Homo-oligomer: A and B are copies of this chain.
């Protein structure tokens, strides 16, 4: 295998680590992938307009409405009305939704710690710097790869 093929295997393996991890959280909180992604988005970036969430995930408003009905029933998110913009409904995180997000973040922390333990100290600095260069362009990466 050349370096590119080796790197492809790494990416597929890492993607599987993420997938398995998602599955654990999904069954723990009884949520689907898109439900979890919505919860993570508002936990990370703060409350958001329903309209903007639909656009971010490319889902129709009617579909989003039933998704939010479900996770609001599970007390993972909460609809709020804006004081300044009365026409818009916002979605905000609840303590339980925040706990789901902390669970996710904690797992990422554990993976990072295990990576540090696997890599020699000398190489870890290089690894992190190079990884940063790559992933800071992640938006560009996605755009590129689909153009």
Contacts and interface: CB of A to CB of B under 8 A. Distances in A.
Interface of A: 3-4, 6-21, 23-24, 27, 32-34, 37, 57-58, 105, 107-116, 118-119, 123-128, 130-138, 141-142, 144-146
Contacts of A136: 13
Given A27-B58, A130-B119, A145 B10 contact: no
Contacts of A8: 105, 108-109, 112
A128 B126 CA distance: 11
Given A124-B3, A127-B127, A136-B13, A145 B23 contact: no
Given A7-B128, A9-B135, A119-B130, 16 more contacts: A8-B112, A9-B132, A11-B112, A13-B135, A15-B108, A17-B135, A18-B18, A21-B145, A21-B146, A32-B33, A107-B146, A114-B141, A118-B134, A123-B126, A127-B127, A127-B131
A1 B90 CA distance: 32
A126 B125 contact: no
A130 B135 contact: no
3 pairs of A and B residues whose beta carbons are closest in the complex: A13-B135, A33-B33, A110-B145
B23 A57 contact: yes
A134 B33 CA distance: 25
A116 B4 contact: yes
Contacts of A123: 126, 130
